[in-house]
Structure 1
Amino acid sequence: MRGAFSIMTKMFYTNKGIDFKTNSLKAELTKNECLSCSNNHELRFSFTVTNRNGEEKTHYRTTNPLSWHHQVKYANKELVDNPAVSALNEWGFNIDGGSIGRVQKVLNAKLKKFHWNSKSLEDVKDSERYKRALGLVESQYGGILSDGKQLAPYQKEGAALMIANQRLFLCFDMGLGKTLTSLVGATANPDNDKILIISMSRNLNDWIREIKVLGLEEEYIQLKNPADLHSSKRIHIVSYEKWSQGRIVFAPIKHESCPTCTSALNFNKSMQYCHICKEKALQQSERYSMDRLPVKCPCCHNEWKNKTLFCECGFTVIKERKKPLSSYFHRGYDAAIVDEGHYLKNGDSQRSKSVVRRVKTKRRTILTGTPAENGSSDLFWQLVWLTGCGSHFEDPLFREPFQGHGKVGEEHFGVYYGGGHAKTLLETDSIQSRVSHQEELWNLLDTLMLRKTKQDKDVNSYIKVPKPKHIRRHLDMIKADKDLYDNILNQFKEWYKQELAKREAAEFRGEKYKINAIQVCSWLTKLRQAASCPWTFEEYKPSKTEQPTKIRYLIDKAKNYLRTGKKMLVFTSHKATAEQLGVLLDEILPGKSAGYIHGSVDMKYRFELMNRFQDPNDNLSILIMTTKTGAESYTLTEARAVFLYDLEFNSKKIEQCYSRAVRWGQHFEVDIHWLISVGTIDANMHGLVLSKQSGVDLAIDRKELDFKEIAKEFEGDEGIEPDEIDYEAFAADMLSSGTKREEIFVS
């Protein structure tokens, strides 16, 4: 014992951790010296990170051993046996036993919460809490629903886990009933007096339909203004658009002349006052809009800058700005359900901020069929909201809980779980899974995620959706198409050489010059269009005797399907291609029509086309959709074939597209045709898509991509016996037939 006498000390707690309080400044200084000397003030550790260039760098950090996080995750001791308490006792501090007991109660509560949050969902299902939750679901919704259907066993499981675990990542495949499951879980819990549901505006009708199926049509309100958030209705449903986006109210249009005497010379446009009539003009009913801005400023008469809302003189076309509904969130909500959770992946977006930073409820559920579209890094902000950044969601580099703001946590999650540096499109000539430390990630997801796919035994035995047949077709371009592609490729190469020359000249002058990444992306888009829809280029010289290979293949296959009475879907990334295909495929067989849908098509007409397509007696047999539009939650199970005319960067968006046909209610095997132009950027896109799919499958579904299956799906190579193939080498060879980076970026 260093002290000659005992120093009275009390243990107390803050929101960050444990501390000790003495009764004098000298004692405080001695206490701090004691904790520092005994390494109970901070612990030092290091970690190594590999940067984008493959170089390893070691970082050094410290952590507080008296923080709540360290105590619940690492200490595993009663506070009376804590090393800090022992060290202080040796230095002559007499810590009040009552204060230790009070802090111990708080720590025990945190430990209990931590241990429950760390339980896997499988362990939760063995608990009494789950059994009670399942009983609630069965008692309220175990019978026949108003639409004549019953809940599937896996839906009851999901609803019960929502009640028992309170935080759930509900990741059912597209078309397996996530909406109904979450409504059952939220409304079967008697503790949920008020429930908030946030979804895309296009999905609100689906939610309302399921609410009516459960007989709750009198208990919901659709939020449209701030006052609605205080409604006594139990279920509050709102679109992402209204929840996250503010609204501009435009001002009435100013008169250019006196509406009474028509005088412009004696009319003050700024004051809207006529000096002849001696009166102020009445306000117009028509208002400004983004499509109806003034030509000249009514105040200073200068030219109005295009698409701006303010003039330099101070005049504005805005009357007022209304805040998004998320600004009026209050703690009166007991549960929140966030639909299409994958849209939270960008932490900087208003959509993500309006949920992660605003919605603070005790019970939280995220719904998505594609939790990670591009890789495991997409999971970060979804997990931030679900976990509330508790101790079970630890930053493995900093050894403290992830932060729900800023960039550091997101970067660390990507580095640790995301598989490191991503390849660019033109570097992609093979399949590489973008995931790392997957077993640790799986342990984390086990505590939150309920994943169900159409091929799971407990699901497929109930819905009986056949597994689709993938056909990956390599197509050789005709000469006219190849000449155009080579021409665009050479233009890209020449542009890049000029940019390199500009950069070298700038470096010679001691200046910096950055090649515009947006222009690079623009060139890549041109290459994608040249590989799939060459007719969109003015310099294209079409062959007089041959159609583009993709068009010819598509028409031949379409005729085969239509002759047997089968309908088909076609997906493309480009609006112009959708329109052109709609014309080319219409009436390729007498009495068989085609229609197209893209973002500019009116919603009413979209649903009219889809209803016609779903009618087996209607002659609308081919529906062409852009991938962005087609990835929405539509049901098109009359399709027996799906053609991916060109590919998107997002692998899961492609899966969402063909899942319009491969979903609950589909009783036939669906053919999925992947059209890939050999020797073009199509092959790079295909490799990129499979790499992303491989990483997501490994992170979420815990399965490796099967090279043997991929190789069997390729078409275009005759005379090869399946048993003679080295499938991994064959798939790699097929994926390496794209445009090489070296063909353009030669420094």
Structure 2
Amino acid sequence: MNGSAVPVGNYFKIEFPYKPKIVEAVKQLPERKFDHNDKSWMVPSQYRDEVERFCKVHKLQFGHKVVQEEKTDFIIPALPELTIQIPLKREPRPYQNTGIAYAIDKQRTFFGDDMGLGKTFQAIASIEALHQLGKASYPCLIVCPSAVKENWKREIENTVHRKAVVLSDGMKHTYQEFYRTGLAQFYIVNYESLKKYFVDHITDPGFDKDGKKKKPTLKNYHFKKKAVDFYKSIIFDESHRLKAVSTMASKIAKGVSAGKETVFLLTGTPLINKPNDLIAQLGIMNRLVEIGGYKHFVEYYCGGPNGASNLKELNYKLNKVCFFRRNKTDEEVKKYLPDKSRQVILCDLNKESRKEYDHAMNDLEAYMKNYKNASEDKIQQSMKGEVMVRIGILKNISARGKLKDAFEFIKDVIDAGQKIVVFASLKEVIAAVQEKFPRSVRLTGAENATQKQASVDAFKTNPNVDVIVLNLKAGGVGVDGLQTVATQICFIEFGWHAAIMDQAEDRLYRMGQNNNVMCTYFLGRDTIDEWNYDLIQKKRSIANAVTGNEDLTEVSIIDSFANLFNQ
């Protein structure tokens, strides 16, 4: 039997696995209603004969519920235990061991853990484990957002006794030598550069029967065979970026992955709520056939209200075939997490900001004339306090130049179903964040007490508000309750003192927060940001953060900056 119709009060409750033909038939029953809560249909009991005939035609049990479909209850089996020793530079947490064990067993799989649980670490360790087991895993290609390329490189070199390089134009003809001479086992590239490194050319798809230009399909993509064959394994970070089958990135990812035994897709975004998003990703791993094939997947899991059906069964099958996920709130995970974590993301400034930054760094007077159109009096006044003026200018340019990477990160957090607290200082940066994320509120010095509280309340209670933007002065202290709804905090701009930054971090890391808090700092590469962050870290090593005179601390910072520029 495919389902059942059972009497519940004055209705028959009809349940069945989603099938388009049965859905069309049930819609013909008189006065039928769909219950969105438990995905069942309700028909008044006065239409008993009609319901019974419907059940007979479509082979549904009439009168009592069928339990045969629930014979397994779709209980997800426990992940396997890791039984081999992997030469790692740091010890995995127990839950990470089981994730690694699952990955080396399946080889083509999702890493679906919640953000902050160490998907990157587990993926790197799994590649090394496969190598130890004699399976081809090196050289390994890592495809990731631009913002985290350096983070991947650092994570690799802190996890395994291997080396990593970020692909660049200068390596187009020499990258294989890096592997042959032992200079690199991991190669890192961002999504936007896939075409440049792997596609030879794209043939013209022509026109359809109506004379409209066709979009290229995978058949139109001709790959650089030497480049594709070079890599034995591939990791796609933030793989939900590949959820649309029609995008160039998804097509290239599928072409590059073809025939690979090891393909890891990392995403903290819940997958099974939007089954259609899985089609392209399962295709990249060549796993779609094991979930029933494209046609079955679309009809059985992507039908029904909101494009989703039979989710419990889909979740069960995915976990059996190629998917695992743990959440920060899981008891077996939570006890191993630190209360608070920090991560630093080094960002390459965009070209315009890089040029502006270098100009201001090398010749402040000329910069003031060319970029700021400053008067001679203003220039002379600024040059008297050159160090502090330059500090402010350089920090501002860097903040604007790293917005693209920060926006990518914020979007990934939101896509993962989480809320995020964003710290910035410049009015134009705060405005840019709000323009990019309209489902946001802000809390700065420009708002009065009533407006500030309204922003906090909206962030805490309104599911349509994902982001709250704070500045250090207005939001660093005296803002309560954010920790009840968020565990992610990021700093596009930051201050000079450890005490100030710790207060800002404590908007989330405080009483009432039972989950790990992730604090992410965005630093412009080769900018004053790196020195600034090192300074904060040094101050944090002092007992109780800042314990001396505030003015003396400021003077010390100015002197240090003066020395920095002199060098």
TM-score normalised over the length of structure 1: 0.35
- Which has a greater percent of helix? 2
TM-score by length of 2: 0.45
